[in-house]
Structure 1
């Protein structure tokens, strides 16, 4: 009997002997202790210990005449599933709670890095190593990411490298504030990227004048270039609280002086095309006035109408005025 089949209830927390006796009782209801022990292929003393556990879990009942009855399988299965789910939920909660270990380990790592450089400053050289360090810091950031990008439009490679990490950070609920130079918005690709970030919850401001490149993670770690004029040389990773405080203060001054990025924006050529649409009826004349090809002019017009959700130019001009573009 012990080899009657593979265990079916083990994944619900039922031991092999308990399942064997329970299924024997299902097949032969009302047997006494000795008869059930014989059916299950085990000694009476061993059976009594198993019956004690089965009775406690409600899987069998033992009558006064020692007749042993198995509880209805539907009832047993529901109880076992519910009990197992409760155990699994508790285990999941323990696993989730263990995430604090990351913070503890990161503190150890930061302590080691503080000791590895003078005054809590770590030197990272080489573009690949800097990029890897930024990815690491962004991945483990838990609250906030502050950044200043002072060099105008972003390259396609820079956008591609940052977009996935930025999106992942925003999905985790990070507060993201970014400051860009105003002329960055004149680049269509950069403007679209920033608008997309803003739509996903990032706060972006632009300003004119000189800016200092920096990244600040959770107000605990900052990254600045070794040489602002030659950013390819590498970066300094700053852990020292006093230096972090000064960098945050500088960021906040930049932030106060900046202007919020709207959900919509126009490049300089788009502004000129839009103003020309108001005054000039024919595309040939408009293109000639702006010094661009008629094909390029019509491409800008079509793009503006699409963004304004307008079916013709008059409607587009009215919509542009409503948005404050004119």
Structure 2
């Protein structure tokens, strides 16, 4: 006989919470946002946000941004045709949120860190009328991957400005294939400065690697 309790059945691994009351759903989202430490991701396939929703979500988003939580959201391009929604998106962008727009989307999701996600019941477009909350790692990873695919297809709310001549030199040196020491010496900066500027450019381009940064820079005609 094996020692210890029997393992839980597979369908009971990970907690899934089903809520249908709008007030309870908002309370749960506020709780997740309060405990977020790394990032909050949202994909919202609405053409506009209601006045009541904006009055609720605006202070919630701003509190998270003030705490240093990364906030990324993908919205439909049509939302810019609704002045209150457009004003909200530009406000949170000014406070550090990263906002992108996409022509078409049907999924609605919310992810807090790599810890928890919320999805609408029945696969519908809203969570306000029924939502599933879960911390099951496999579901959280799948939902975050879905968001990242939408993020990659979307375009920034405010396009990135063209790079300076110095940034172009850094990009060209990075793409030359030369070692960092050689590339830095060629443009007259220290290796530390060279690497710091590359890191800044990678962040500016939302690139996860130097190779991806080079591809994105070429796509934009920067090099």
TM over 0.5: yes
- Counterpart of 1:240 in structure 2 is 136
Out of 76, 79, 94, the residue aligned to residue 184 of structure 1 is 79
Deviations 1:38-59 (A, max 9, x none): xxxxxxxxxxxxxxxxxxxxxx
Question: Does 2:20 correspond to 1:125?
Answer: yes
Instruction: Give the Å deviation of 1:148.
Output: 0.6
1:137 and 2:137 matched: no
Match of 2:221? none
User: 1:118 Cα deviation (Å)?
Assistant: 6.4
In the TM superposition, 1:33-182 aligns within 5 A as 119-182=14-77
Quickly say closer, same or farther: Cα 1:159–1:233, change in 2 above 3 A: closer
Task: Sort the Cα spacing of 1:153 and 1:230 in 2 relative to 1 into closer, same or farther, 3 A.
Answer: closer
TM-score normalized with structure 2 length: 0.63
Gaps of 5+ in 2: 1-11, 160-223
Do the aligned partners of residues 212 and 220 (structure 1) sit closer, same or farther apart at CA in structure 2, a change above 3 Å counting? Answer: same
Higher radius of gyration, 1 or 2:
1
Preserved CA contact (<8 Å) 2:106 2:125: no
In the alignment, what sits opposite 2:169? none
1:251 aligned partner: 147
Cα contact 2:45–2:125 (8 A) shared by 1 = no
Contact 1:227 1:233 in 2 (8 A): no
Q: CA RMSD in A?
A: 2.0
Please identify which structure carries the higher helix content. 1
- Inter-partner Cα distance in structure 1 for 2:106 and 2:17: 23
* Residue equivalent to 2:110: 215
Look up the match of 1:97: none
Runs of 4+ in 1 over 4 A off after TM superposition: none
Q: 1:250 to 1:157 in 2, by over 3 A?
A: same
CA distance in 2, matches of 1:194, 1:251: 18
1:202 aligns with 2:89: no
SS for the counterpart of 1:212 is: coil
Question: Which runs of structure 2 are paired with 1:258-273 in the superposition (5 Å)?
Answer: 258-262=154-158
Work out the CA distance in 1 between the residues paired with 2:122 and 2:100.
Answer: 24
Segments of structure 1 that go 5 or more residues without pairing to the other structure are 1-116, 264-326
* Residues 48 and 85 in structure 2, CA contact (< 8 A), matched pair in contact too: yes
